[in-house]
Structure 1
């Protein structure tokens, strides 16, 4: 800017394909340039344009720049931002040690580039994909540029599948590391998707800050995070399934670049009951008909529980209905269910049903009229001792005469 071309031609600038500066941000924009000369100062300032690739750079994120190296006229490094302080900047670079240029040398808070002010010391033109840097003197410098690149966030699930039982909270974990410089700007382009359609399923996401879990979402609404560069963080997904989802479910986390897809898979140890029906009355020794559905094993060992007591076990084959005759004749009303376990120790449960066992023979007494009674119209009455009377019938000379009215249970 304002170069005296009569005094001297403009100094050369070159792009260095293998700069001394080494960065680890991967696909983020980490182009390091060397430019300058040690000629006389015949201009007010220098404006340098540096192109960037918008397919690997998140333009909605922040742009920062440091001057990582200063060189002598032979391109030998005479100042290194990683080794030297600003007090050690050589005298030939004195103009860099005052504002606004001193910010170029701040490691923890580098020069921030404006996207709206073309006169800023560092300006990003997102239309032309150019970053414009202003320096006071065209000496040997090497700027390092940091942006939020699309590939700079590393996400890994601690395991592929998590098993969840309805009515309890199950948690899944994702480790996340940011390779960006995110000093005061939120991390961009991190998305969570889910296949949950049941309104009864609730879930949230928390970030572990090294001391405690900070709940940041509710039912999938994601908030941006400030993540320190190259520091590992952990996300926790907490799921609560309603009680009516009676089988075990699997939560599968699939991670694609910076997108976490959460899938709820119902085909894990699902045990369907076909008999006996809910509340059915039996005389004893119930026959249980169940079908196992599982993606873990072809066959599993299953157990029948009645009234909280294990009364027998059997083997179920995946997808095939099996009948099991239990030996149980104690009278009463009981809750019962079936559980099956795979080779990995994962338990699945059926729905819980009610069963009424009645093996008692009704006791009939107080029969009226008494033997030998005579009358034009005879009424027959009897007293029956049994808790589960459903009907009584009158037989005369072994022939059914009809049903009797039952009163009083």
Structure 2
């Protein structure tokens, strides 16, 4: 990995951003989007729908942006000079965040019955939109169809992310985090570059090992940690490929996703891509064993006896195979250790035995953390000339932990002696 790799700063210097806010609970995050655009050097003006004002006040966004907030198409003072057209011409980009299911449907059909939809039709600058809705609404065929149609109309759809929602549901539909949205905006407006980005390859989710055409061996991995790492790697400037087992998660913006089922399929893709990568993170919960011979037809229950004997054979060790690549092909290798006891002992053993650069170990027996949850806690282990060092990462959202992990991996490539960042 390049020794000067570091987190890029999203630059919007001199860019004029029109931010549309619609009526979703995620509107409270719009304040942070305004702050991040300003911090990146951009100007921002805000347009709110009537419903959005029930979730966050125009005064809040006015104070943060330093500009008057527009809320009405029929504002005589503003429209005296065709204000909505002037706003559309002023913008270098239009960003709508959050975008409700209702607003997306109206945009798809070209309605112009309020200021925001009118601006969306009049604006010829790049247009980006961040959906935010209940997971059942997002899964509905109409919502998915509308989001696809927006893409065909030239909108860049950011997210949505998956996780716990305000209503208590868990699933895809939550608005992407403000940092990811502003990063996507900055990339969209960045001048073209011929400098290739370093590549990251990340495995995520479980594998399924077939026993017969209808049964398989698997585990409880949801893939959330791996998907958080993939989204964070994109934000860190990596050209990111995600090798994913079967999960119910949306692909993070900017990530190339390869879907696999079995450990053998994941092994094949990992060894194909790892030699081209600067960073490899093995976050998938790969099954250690598979059936020696998967049955061609469904296994039937037999009348004699109460047991069934299966012959299993060991799957290839993906992370060890990547770590064993020749120096010219070997990326910086990060492994995960999901344990239920003696976490430190097993993690340090894995670090040495598999020749890894960094091990992220977590206790999956802890309630509310690890498999299926939105939060995680972990310990990071790495080697130095003085011995093995560690860092205790307390319970935090998986996106925050993902950034800590990738930050730490980058710091170790800059400082191979292993001083903690």
What is the TM-score of this pair, normalised by structure 1?
0.21
Higher strand share: 1
What is the TM-score of this pair, normalised by structure 2?
0.20
Q: Which of 1 and 2 has greater Rg?
A: 1
